[in-house]
Chains A and B, each alone.
Chain A
């Protein structure tokens, strides 16, 4: 599987969750509930296969309390949807740089095939 197809699979899986819209690449401008994968490097695997690491970003409400409640409501569905396409290693809140100010996101780090 190529990086392009892995990106598309992750986006499709994210879109199956109510309240989440998956994109293969970062939409401009991203809106609440938008989610996209960002390639974060590949480790050499067995044979000629590589293990790409993905940083999946989900834009949550920009208020801490609202973001907490949003993630409480969507966490299980997001992780269930990703299970067939991504081996999740870590889930954590983070911020991405945007023009003007940082945007609060949930960052899901995982690996898949390449």
Chain B
């Protein structure tokens, strides 16, 4: 079977928060749905009832902890927890590429790190409602 078309190495993304592109500060950015499944087995063969919850999304980011002006860490730290931030995640830059537009809630960012290595940050931000998936 030939290699599939459309496979992509994540390397040239657009990650915008409140109008500023922070892709060059992040090494991970992804929207993750949490969608619990209820399963109930009844007393007959193949008697399985399943139900799914509506999904709840989170926005996971990981990257450099830049604490000076222009840094995403500094920007988020300057907001109150729960402040709504407008986000765009586009895995590949350019026109006609898949993208997600959503509103997340700001959280505080860690401060400091380990000696001899880059300061980093890891965050999981709650997303309001459902991201809008479209194309750029």
- CB contact between A87 and one of B2, B9, B93 (< 8 Å): that residue: B9
- Say if the beta carbon of B48 comes within 8 Å of chain A: no
Q: Could you say which residues of chain A place their CB within 8 Å of the CB of B4?
A: 47-49
Fill in one digit per residue for B1-26: 1 if any A CB lies within 8 Å of its CB, else 0.
11111011111100000000000000
Q: Closest 8 A-B residue pairs measured CB to CB?
A: A87-B11, A49-B7, A84-B12, A83-B12, A48-B3, A87-B9, A113-B9, A113-B7
**A51:B2 contact, CB within 8 angstroms:** no
Nearest CB of A to B76, in Å: 25
Interface of B is mostly: loop
A54 → chain B closest CB, angstroms: 11
Interface assignment of A114: CB less than 8 Å from any CB of chain B: yes
Q: Measuring CB to CB, which residues of chain A are less than 8 angstroms from any residue of chain B?
A: 1-2, 45-51, 83-84, 86-87, 111-114
Interface centre among B2, B5, B12 (most CB of A within 10 A): B12
| Chain A, residue nearest B92 (CB) | A84
A83 to B7, CA, bound (A): 17
Shortest C-beta distance, A77 to chain B (Å), equals 15
Q: Is the beta-carbon distance between B7 and A84 smaller than 8 angstroms?
A: no
What 8 new A-B contacts, CB under 8 Å, besides A1-B7, A83-B12?
A2-B3, A45-B7, A49-B3, A50-B3, A83-B11, A84-B12, A111-B9, A112-B11
Kindly report which residue of chain B lies nearest to residue A50, judged by CB atoms: B3
The CA-CA distance from A84 to B92 in the complex, in Å, is 8
Residues of B within 8 Å of A46, CB to CB, are 7
Does the CB pair B7–A47 fall under 8 Å? yes
Q: CA A114 – CA B8 in complex, angstroms?
A: 9
Decide: A84 and B93 in contact? CB cutoff 8 A: yes
B9 near A48 with CB under 8 A, answer no
Tell me the bound Cα distance from A87 to B12 in angstroms: 8
The complex places the Cα of A28 from the Cα of B11 at a distance, in Å, of 32
- A51, B10: Cα distance in complex, Å: 12
- A45 to chain B: which residues have CB within 8 Å? 7
Contact A114 B12 (CB under 8 A): no
Instruction: Kindly list chain A residues whose C-beta atoms are within 8 Å of the C-beta of B9.
Output: 51, 87, 111-113
Q: Scan B66-100; emit 1 where CB is below 8 A from any A CB, else 0.
A: 00000000000000000000000000011000000
CA A113 to CA B93, docked complex, whole Å: 16
Once the chains are docked, how many angstroms separate the CA of A114 from the CA of B4?
9
